[in-house]
C-alpha cells in the first residue's frame, strides 16, 4: 500500500502498508456500525502528467462568521460531487480515560438528530442515491457523501444536519455494546494486537499512542454526558473544515452551509502539536492461538508539516511499498517471509517509519536480520533507476485518483485540516518529482540502524 489519495498528502497515512493502515483510519459501515481497517482505496502520488495539467479544477475558499472553513476544488466537467466535514479531532486528542470516544462518537452521529431519526437519516441519503460514510483516525474524524451533481445540495444540507446529533441515552447504551464487540473482534486479529501494542509503547504516554477503538475499560466506563462534553468542545465550526469537490456551485454551497451550520458556536479549541518523546524498546507477545510469527518495527520520521515528507514517502515505497520493493525481493521472493512491507505515517508534530513482516515463527530472527541489513544498506545502494521506477509507477495511479471528486475532496480536506494550506495535486506531484537521491540517502541513513522499537508476536 502507498499514499492515500482518499485521505492523502500531506497528512494522510502516506505509504503505510495495507496491514499497517488499519489503526490510523477506521471505517464505519453506516448500517452495522462496524469499523474495518484500511481505506477502501490507497493511491500514491507522483510527478505531474499531461492529464493533471489539463484538468479544469479551480480552488475556492471561504470562512463563515463562526469560523467554519469551506474549501473546494470545483470542476464543472465532472459527473459527480462530493462533500465532507473534517473534524480536527481523533484519538490523540482524547484524555486517556476517554480513549475511544472519538470513534464511538462517530457511530453516534448516524443515530439521528432531534428532528431526524436514524432510519430517516439513512433513508434520505439512500433516496438521493448518495454514498455516505465516515471514519475516525488518530487525528481526524470525517463524515462525507458523494452524489450526482443534481443531488449535491440535498446531500450537503442533510450531511450538515447530521453533524448535530441527538446523542440519545438509549442509542448510546446500545451502540456501546457494538463498540465492545468491535474491540473483541480485533483482539482475534494477531497483527492488530501487535500493531496497537507497538504504537502504544512507542508513543506512551502521548495521545498518538491511544487506541482508536479504545479499550474494554474506557468504553465501559464512558458516559453519555462525557461524550456530549467532548462533542460540544471539539465539534466546533472553528475546529472543522467543509471540503467540496466536483461539479458544485461553490457560492450556493456556501449559502447552504451558512443556513445549516451558521449558528454552530465556536469554542476556540486547540491541539497540542509538540513533538512527542518516543520510546526505544523490544517486546514480545505470546499467543497460543496463532500459528504464524509477526514482527513490527517503528522509527522516527519527518512530521506531516515537514517538506521531507515527500522523500519519506518515496523511501517507504522503495523499501517495502510494493511487489518490486527491497523487502519483497529479500524476504518474500526467497520464501523467507509471507508478508513484508514498509510504511511512512505522517502526523502533526512527528512522523513514523514502519516495517512489518510475517512468516514462520522460527524465522523471525532471520527476518529481523534481513530487514536490518536492507535498511542499513539502503543509504548506499539506492539508485536513480529506483527513483525513476517509483515515479513512473505512482504517476498513473495519482492521475487516476485526481479525476475522482470523492478522492479530491478527501485529499484537500485532510491537507487543509492539518496544515491550513492548499496545494493542488499537480503541486504535490511536483514535490515528489523534486525528491533527489541524496534526499533518500539522508533519510535512509537517519533511519538506520534497525528501528528503535521492535515488537514480535508468536505462538
53 has a pLDDT exceeding 50: no
Instruction: Label residue 60 by pLDDT band (50, 70, 90).
Output: very high
> Per DSSP, what are the bridge partners of residue 240?
87
Burial class of residue 448, CB neighbours in 10 A (0-12, 13-18, 19+) = middle
Extract the C-alpha cell encoding 382.
Answer: 539506492
**Whether residue 50 has pLDDT greater than 70:** no
Cell numbers standing for residue 430: 511536483
Quote the distance between the C-alpha of residue 82 and its chain's center.
18
Higher pLDDT, 16 or 355: 355
pLDDT tens across 206-215, in order? 999 999 999 9
Segment 373-383 shows an average pLDDT of: 89
pLDDT band at 310 (very low <50, low <70, confident <90, very high): very high
pLDDT grade for 272, boundaries at 50, 70 and 90:
confident
Q: Please compute the mean of the pLDDT values over residues 137-153 and round it to a whole number.
A: 98
Q: Has residue 390 got a pLDDT over 80?
A: yes
Poorest-pLDDT segment among 43-57, 280-294, 366-380: 43-57
The position carrying cell 500459528 is 291
Percentage helix, strand, coil for the chain under 3-state DSSP, each rounded to 5: 45, 20, 35
Q: Are 216 and 176 in contact (CB under 8 A)?
A: no
CA–CA gap between residue 200 and residue 205 (Å, rounded): 8
In 77-209, beta strands by DSSP E? 81-87, 131-137, 141-147
Question: Which residue is listed with cell 452524489?
Answer: 147
Q: Is the pLDDT assigned to residue 44 strictly greater than 60?
A: no
Q: Where are the domains of the chain?
A: 25-261, 281-458
pLDDT at 55: 58
In this prediction, residue 30 carries a pLDDT of 41
Q: How would residue 315 be classed by pLDDT, with cut points 50, 70 and 90?
A: very high
Higher pLDDT among residues 1 and 364, named by residue: 364
Statement: residue 316 has pLDDT above 70: yes
Looking at residue 403, what is its pLDDT?
76
Rounded Cα gap, residues 329 and 323, in angstroms: 8
pTM higher than 0.85 for the full model? Answer: yes
The two domains 25-261 and 281-458 share their CATH topology (first three levels equal): yes
Query: In this predicted structure, what is the pLDDT of residue 227?
Result: 99
pLDDT (tens digit per residue) in 422-448: 999 889 889 888 999 999 999 988 877
Mean pLDDT of 1-25: 34
162-208, pLDDT tens digit by residue?
999 999 999 999 999 999 999 999 999 999 999 999 999 999 999 99
Residue 26 has pLDDT above 70, yes or no: no
Considering the chain, what percentage of its residues have pLDDT values greater than 90? 76
Residues 6+ away with beta carbon under 8 Å from 53 = 426
What does the pLDDT average to over 449-455?
A: 85
Helices (H), 54-100: none
How many angstroms separate the CA atoms of 197 and 77, rounded? 47
**Cell 452495522, located at residue:** 32
The reported pLDDT for the residue numbered 324 is 85
Distance CA 320, CA 1 (A): 9
- What average pLDDT does the chain have? 88
Residue 69 has pLDDT above 50, yes or no: yes
- For residue 129, what pLDDT band results from cuts at 50, 70 and 90? very high
Q: Please state, as a whole number, how many other Cβ atoms lie within 10 Å of the Cβ of residue 438.
A: 10
Listing DSSP states for 419-441 in one string gives HS----HHHHHHHHHT--HHHHH
- Beta-sheet pairing, 281-286 with 141-147: unpaired
Please tell me which residue, 394 or 113, carries the higher pLDDT value: 113
| pLDDT band of 10, cuts 50, 70, 90 | very low
Crossing angle of helices 152-162 and 118-127, in 10° steps, is 160
Q: Find the range with the poorest average confidence among 2-16, 61-75, 92-106, 164-178.
A: 2-16
The yes-or-no verdict on residue 370 having pLDDT over 90 is yes
Reply yes or no on whether the pLDDT at 76 is more than 50: yes
Fold topology of 25-261: Cytochrome Bc1 Complex; Chain A, domain 1 (3.30.830)
pLDDT level of residue 25 (50, 70, 90 thresholds): very low
Strand partners, 144: 84, 133
Indicate whether 385 pLDDT > 80. Answer: yes
- The CATH classification number of 281-458 equals 3.30.830.10
User: Which secondary structure element, helix H or strand E, spans residue 244, and what is its range?
Assistant: strand 240-246
Q: What separation, in Å, do the N-terminal and C-terminal C-alpha atoms of the chain show?
A: 27
Amino acid at each position: 500500500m502507498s499514499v492515500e489519495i482518499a485521505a492523502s498528502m500531506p497528512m494522510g497515512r502516506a505509504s503505510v502498508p495495507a496491514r499497517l493502515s488499519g489503526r490510523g483510519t477506521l471505517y464505519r459501515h453506516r448500517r452495522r456500525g462496524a469499523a474495518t481497517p484500511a481505506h477502501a482505496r490507497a493511491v500514491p502520488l507522483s510527478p505531474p502528467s499531461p492529464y493533471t495539467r489539463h484538468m479544469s479544477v479551480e480552488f475556492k475558499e471561504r470562512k463563515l462568521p463562526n469560523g467554519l472553513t469551506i474549501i473546494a476544488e470545483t470542476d464543472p466537467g465532472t459527473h459527480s460531487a462530493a462533500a465532507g466535514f473534517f473534524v480536527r479531532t481523533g484519538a490523540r486528542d482524547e484524555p486517556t480515560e476517554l480513549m475511544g470516544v472519538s470513534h464511538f462518537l462517530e457511530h453516534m452521529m448516524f443515530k439521528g438528530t432531534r428532528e431526524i431519526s436514524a432510519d430517516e437519516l439513512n433513508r434520505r441519503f439512500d433516496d438521493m442515491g448518495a454514498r455516505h460514510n465516515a471514519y475516525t483516525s488518530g487525528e481526524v474524524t470525517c463524515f462525507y457523501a458523494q452524489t450526482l451533481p443534481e443531488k449535491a445540495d440535498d446531500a450537503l444540507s442533510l450531511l450538515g444536519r447530521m453533524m448535530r446529533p441527538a446523542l440519545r441515552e438509549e442509542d448510546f447504551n446500545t451502540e456501546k455494546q457494538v463498540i465492545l464487540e468491535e474491540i473483541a473482534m480485533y483482539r482475534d486479529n494477531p497483527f492488530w494486537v501487535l500493531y496497537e501494542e507497538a504504537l502504544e509503547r512507542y508513543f506512551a504516554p502521548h495521545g498518538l499512542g491511544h487506541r482508536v477503538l479504545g479499550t474494554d475499560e474506557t468504553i465501559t466506563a464512558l458516559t453519555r454526558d462525557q461524550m456530549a462534553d467532548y462533542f460540544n468542545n471539539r465539534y466546533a465550526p472553528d475546529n472543522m473544515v467543509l471540503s467540496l469537490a466536483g461539479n458544485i456551485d461553490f457560492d450556493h454551497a456556501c449559502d447552504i452551509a451558512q443556513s445549516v451550520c451558521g449558528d454552530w458556536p465556536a469554542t476556540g479549541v486547540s491541539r497540542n502539536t509538540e513533538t512527542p518523546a518516543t520510546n526505544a524498546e523490544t517486546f514480545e507477545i505470546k499467543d497460543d492461538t496463532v500459528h504464524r510469527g509477526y514482527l513490527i518495527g517503528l522509527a522516527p520520521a519527518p512530521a506531516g508539516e515537514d517538506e521531507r515528507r515527500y522523500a519519506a514517502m518515496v523511501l517507504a515505497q522503495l523499501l517495502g511499498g510494493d511487489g518490486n520493493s527491497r523487502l519483497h525481493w529479500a524476504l518474500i521472493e526467497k520464501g523467507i517471509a509471507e508478508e513484508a512491507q514498509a510504511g511512512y505515517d505522517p502526523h502533526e508534530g512527528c512522523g513514523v517509519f514502519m516495517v512489518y513482516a510475517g512468516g514462520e515463527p522460527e524465522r523471525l530472527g532471520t527476518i529481523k536480520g534481513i530487514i536490518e541489513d536492507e535498511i542499513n544498506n539502503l543509504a548506499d545502494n539506492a539508485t536513480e533507476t529506483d527513483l525513476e521506477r517509483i515515479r513512473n509507477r505512482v504517476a498513473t495511479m495519482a492521475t487516476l485518483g485526481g479525476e475522482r471528486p470523492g478522492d479530491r475532496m478527501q485529499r484537500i480536506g485532510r491537507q487543509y485540516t492539518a496544515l491550513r494550506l492548499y496545494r493542488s495535486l499537480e503541486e504535490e506531484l511536483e514535490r515528489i518529482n523534486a525528491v533527489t537521491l541524496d534526499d533518500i540517502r539522508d533519510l535512509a541513513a537517519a533511519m538506520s540502524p534497525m528501528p528503535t522499537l521492535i515488537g514480535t508476536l508468536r505462538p
